[in-house]
């Protein structure tokens, strides 16, 4: 979505709001397509004392598999972002502001990059997920698998002699 911000930049105290759906069903993340429904984007650009601030809320369901037990899951997520906007950047290396030289901003690209940068590195079905048994592969969230827990890695067998 192209956000036109000329009135916001010119008039102090002015604001512009958009509320739209961003379809990301075709977005491939590590061979998976986790966005089964569109992302709801609520964006507000406000001119406060000559500085334009963009606030974005992205609300979506993220469908994937748990990184520990590999069970399919869907997490409802709400991510919020804030960006400063400027018509022209004096310093080319300034990451604090996004340049909008023609008073427009392509909001879709910004929202997609913000979402991808702020997704958790590990997606768990629950905080206390026990994962899979390393020997038999049973889901330990469903109960004990009965495997021998005292089994010692042969590479560490020599350390056992030191303890005894």
Q: Pinpoint the alpha helices (H) of the chain.
A: 6-10, 107-118, 157-163
Q: Calculate the average pLDDT of the chain.
A: 88
**Closest by Cα among 79, 18, 14, 92 to 53:** 14
How far apart are alpha carbons 36 and 25 in whole angstroms? 6
Mean pLDDT for 64-86 is: 93
Q: Report pLDDT for 18.
A: 94
Least confident of 45-54, 66-75, 145-154: 145-154
Q: Report pLDDT for 79.
A: 96
Q: Report pLDDT for 21.
A: 95
> Comparing 19 with 6, which gets the higher pLDDT?
19
The total number of residues written for the chain in this structure? 164
Dihedral angle computed from the Cα positions of residues 10, 11, 12 and 14, in that order, rounded to the nearest 10 degrees: -120
Rounded CA Rg of the chain: 24
Q: Is 49 left (phi over 0), alpha (psi -120 to 50) or beta?
A: left
**Residue indicated by tokens 């397509």:** 33
Q: Report pLDDT for 152.
A: 73
pLDDT digits (tens, 9 = 90+) for 83-141: 988 887 776 666 778 888 888 889 999 999 999 999 998 999 999 999 999 888 899 99
Mean pLDDT for 62-74 is: 94
């Amino acid at each position: 979505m192209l956000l036109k911000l000329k009135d916001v930049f010119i008039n102090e105290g002015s604001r512009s709001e958009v509320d739209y759906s961003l379809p990301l069903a075709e977005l491939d993340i590590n061979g998976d397509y986790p966005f089964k429904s569109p992302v709801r984007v609520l964006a507000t650009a406000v001119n406060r004392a000559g500085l334009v601030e963009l606030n974005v809320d992205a609300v979506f369901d993220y469908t994937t598999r748990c990184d520990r037990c590999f069970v399919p899951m869907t997490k409802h997520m709400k991510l919020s972002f804030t960006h400063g906007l400027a018509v022209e950047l004096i310093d080319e290396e300034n990451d604090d502001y996004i340049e909008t030289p023609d008073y427009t901003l392509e909001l879709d690209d910004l929202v997609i990059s913000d979402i991808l940068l702020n997704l958790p590195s590990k997606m768990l079905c629950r905080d206390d997920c026990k994962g899979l048994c390393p020997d038999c592969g049973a889901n330990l969230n469903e109960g004990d698998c009965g495997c021998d827990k005292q089994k010692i890695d042969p590479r560490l067998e020599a350390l056992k002699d030191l303890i005894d």
